[in-house]
Structure 1
Amino acid sequence: MKKTTFLLILCMLSFCGCKSVKPVAETGPDRLLAPWPVPDLEPTGTDYSDQTTWVLGYFNLDRLKREPHSVWFTKGYDEYQFKTDVLNKLLEINKDDIVIKIVMGTWCPDSRREVPRFMKVLDMWQFPLAKVTFIGVDNAKMSPVGEYNKLDIQRVPTFIIYKNNIEKGRIIENPATSLEQDMVNILTRNE
């Protein structure tokens, strides 16, 4: 009887504990990646893939200057080295009829890198913050903003530059040259 009970328990344990886990990819001959998604942790320990950190819909710049976002925003803003010669060209452009929409995801590393840099360029250009609209999206690039679908956002961040209420161009995800040069190129096109 004891032998039968022992065999029964042994069989149950072997079936319960045999869940095999295959690694997602190899990083080298001796190291494997975890078989689950690795959170997007900052040095502060903040997991920006956690939905509780996401900023959705319309928001203002002050939201990015508060925790938990102030860490990456301040660092990116302070460390960005803009090109002075290109900024001087930007300073020659009339800002009166220009408005900008910034569509971003606080969960997105590209947004966390480019938005602070873009804001530094706007500050150096002395562009009025009142003419900048911020729209936060989730990781499916959706936002609870009316008529948002008309913006046709595929990647973030997307910086949409309008002149006289007509879209002049976009900087999508990463600048082609630099943020300031891309802005000059967009705003001086066909002029």
Structure 2
Amino acid sequence: MPYKKLILSTILTITLLGCGSTPAPGPRFTLGQMESDTLFNNHQQFLNNYQSAQITQAEQALVESWPSDIEFNVYFGTWCHDSEREVPKLLKLLSYNKTLTISLIGLDYKKTEPNGGAKANGVQFTPTIIVTRAGKELGRIVEQPAVSLVSDIHQIIKKHSV
């Protein structure tokens, strides 16, 4: 009986230690500024989700109406399921307005990256989509939109339109 407890205790300890450790960077882990091509070439699920994203004509029309000086800073994890869902959809949406600027910044598990932008912008969750104009933050979407990416972004832009 004592051996059974020892064995169970050892298995439990090993399991807990394994779950608490941070996995080493690998193919699911890309850090820093990147282009969408790099993201899609190195992370198949992002490409799959981009290709399967459905954009309605109404959503396309809204995106096309957004001012050309709007910028998007997208902090995300290539290891994060919320990022896998939201970032490809955002990229598909923004493909309908080539005048918009988007910066993709890959984060590690601690939500940091080499340039320190995530920390400077108070990023705590992934993805965090920061909408800016002329260097001023207009608003952000954290983890997932309240209604939809198009609707939430449109409301952010509309709220700050002159």
- Deviation, 1:92, is 1.8
Shift of 1:16: 9.4
Query: 1:113, CA displacement in angstroms?
Result: 1.2
Q: CA deviation at 1:126?
A: 2.9
Normalised by the length of structure 1, the TM-score is: 0.70
Match of 1:82 in 2: 55
For residue 145 of structure 1, report the CA deviation from its aligned partner. Answer: 0.9
The gaps in structure 2 that reach 5 residues or longer are none
Cα RMSD, aligned residues only? 2.7
Query: Are the counterparts in 1 of residues 75 and 118 from structure 2 also a CA contact under 8 Å?
Result: no
Cα distance in 1 between the residues matched to 2:148 and 2:97? 15
CA pair 146-74 structure 1, distance change in 2 beyond 3 A: closer
Give the secondary structure class of the aligned counterpart of 1:102.
strand
- Ranked by relative contact order (alpha carbons within 8 Å, sequence separation 6 or more), the top structure is 2
- Return the TM-score normalized by structure 2: 0.81
**Given the alignment of the two structures, is residue 172 of structure 1 paired with residue 142 of structure 2, yes or no?**
yes
- Rounded Cα–Cα distance in structure 1 between residues aligned with 2:9 and 2:84: 33
Contact 1:102–1:132 (8 Å) recurs in 2 = yes
- Distance in 1, matches of 2:125 and 2:90, equals 16
The unaligned stretches of length 5 or more in structure 1 are: 1-13, 25-33, 38-48
**CA distance in 1 between partners of 2:94 and 2:126 (Å):** 18
Q: Percent identity between the aligned chains?
A: 28
Distance 1:52 1:101, change over 3 A: same
Larger radius of gyration: 1
Deviation at 1:173, TM superposition (A): 0.6
Match of 2:122 among 136, 142, 152: 152
Choose which of 26, 33, 40 in structure 2 pairs with 1:52.
Answer: 26
Q: Which residue of structure 1 aligns with residue 77 of structure 2?
A: 105
Q: Is the 8 A contact 1:90 1:180 kept in 2?
A: yes
